[in-house]
Amino acid sequence: MKLKQLGLGNLVKQAASKEGVCLDIGAFCVRVKSDEIIFLETLAFLYQDFPILPSDTFADFHIVITRPKGVRHYLKPQVIFVTDGQQPFEPFPLSHAFPLFEWGLNWCIARRSHQYLMLHAAVVEKNGKALILPALPGSGKSTLSAALAMNGWRFLSDEFTMIRPQDGKILPIPRPTPLKNASIQVIKGTFLNAEMGPLFPKTRKGTVAHLRPPKQSVEQLKEAVLPELLIFPKFQANTEIQLNLLNKPYVVFKLASNAFNYELMGRTGFELVKNMTSSCRCYNLTYSRFDQVLPLLDDLLMQNV
């Protein structure tokens, strides 16, 4: 059953129960418990196409979003993120419960999921071929992957590229994309069908709004895919689009330093990075406009090498 079909009333009831709600996010199952309507409303909207699993399913992560005890429960209410009885972050203002959940879930994934090599990269797919966009925060990978997702590509993730060591395939986690500041208007203005959650002003990263992932991408959340293109994007206003082929040994270093857990994965990490680099076409990309970059990436994918 999809979250949408559950309805807000049932979601509120189930999220408050001992078992919580088991949400299938692709590579993982997350058990969410909360008694905060404001959070559940946003969750219900942005995750509407995601499957709800029966409560006796094995969940990888346990997350509780609730108010701390004490006077702050009523006075300027705050909200906390609890996982397995631990509270790794300071409380957020109640209105920012959803960004706290998303941030905390990222933290859980990054800390624990060493069964996969985790690149700090957005990833999208077309014709069964994945395009990986590894980049540092601020380089525009979320915005670019959002634009690709709105333009016919299947969206797999804006943050984590999870590579399965057994077959080198990428597992999707097509969660909502947090767009920041100017990106929000850029996506809204360019893609009129883009649906976004509420605006969260004054977060650590400025104003944030989450883009709801395309329904089709969410429906394919169990379909792993092999990588074909590795592109290191950089948004630079008012520049001509530029695509440079990269030499492979250099890409190995770039990927190794980009991954969250390259060193931890040891030899497996090295083998994966090496194999992926040799099987993919690798480029540096500088862009400033969607009407240039989107056709270029479409063409690039179509080229047979």
Partner 1 sequence: MTIPANHVKKILINCLCFPETVKELTVSEWELLIRCARHCKLLAYLRWKLDSCGLIASVPAQVLTHFTAAQRIVDYRNRLAMWELNRIRRALYAKDVEVLVLKGGAYQLLQIPFAQSRLLADIDILVKKSDIHTVETCLQQQGWQTAKLDEYDQQYYRTWMHEVPPLRHQERFIEVDLHHTILPLSSRLQPSPELLIEDSIVVENIAYKVFSPVDMILHSSVHLFYDAELNGADFRDLVDLKELIAYFQPQQEFFFEILLDRAKQLTLQRPLYYTLYFIHNLLDAPIPEEYIEKNIGKPSWLTRKLMCYLVPLALIPEHPDFPRKKVALARWLLYVRSHFLRMPFYLLIPHLLRKSRMRMAGKEMH
**Strand ranges of the sheet holding 206-211, from the earlier edge strand across to the other edge:** 177-180, 206-211, 200-203
* Closest CB to partner 1 among residues 9, 85: 85
| Sign of the Cα pseudo-torsion (279, 285, 289, 291, in order) | negative
- Class of residue 278 by CB neighbours under 10 A (exposed 0-12, middle 13-18, buried 19+): exposed
* Closest CB to partner 1 among residues 82, 300: 82
Interface pattern 170-189 for partner 1 (x via CB under 8 A): --------------------
57 contributes a contact to partner 1 by CB under 8 A: yes
Interface pattern 111-150 for partner 1 (x via CB under 8 A): -xxxx-----------------------------------
Dmax over Cα atoms in the chain, in whole Å? 64
DSSP 282: E
- 78 sits in which H/E element: strand 78-82
Q: Side-chain half-sphere of 197: how many Cα atoms within 13 Å? A: 32
271 contributes a contact to partner 1 by CB under 8 A: no
257 contributes a contact to partner 1 by CB under 8 A: no
Structure tokens at 291: 């009407």
Using the contact rule CB under 8 A, the part of the chain among 149-157, 193-201, 245-253, 264-272 near partner 1 is 264-272
Shortest reach from residue 91's CB to partner 1, in Å:
14
263 contributes a contact to partner 1 by CB under 8 A: yes
Query: Alpha carbon 195 to chain centroid distance?
Result: 16
Binding region for partner 1 (CB under 8 A): 18, 29, 56-60, 62, 84-85, 112-115, 261, 263-266, 268
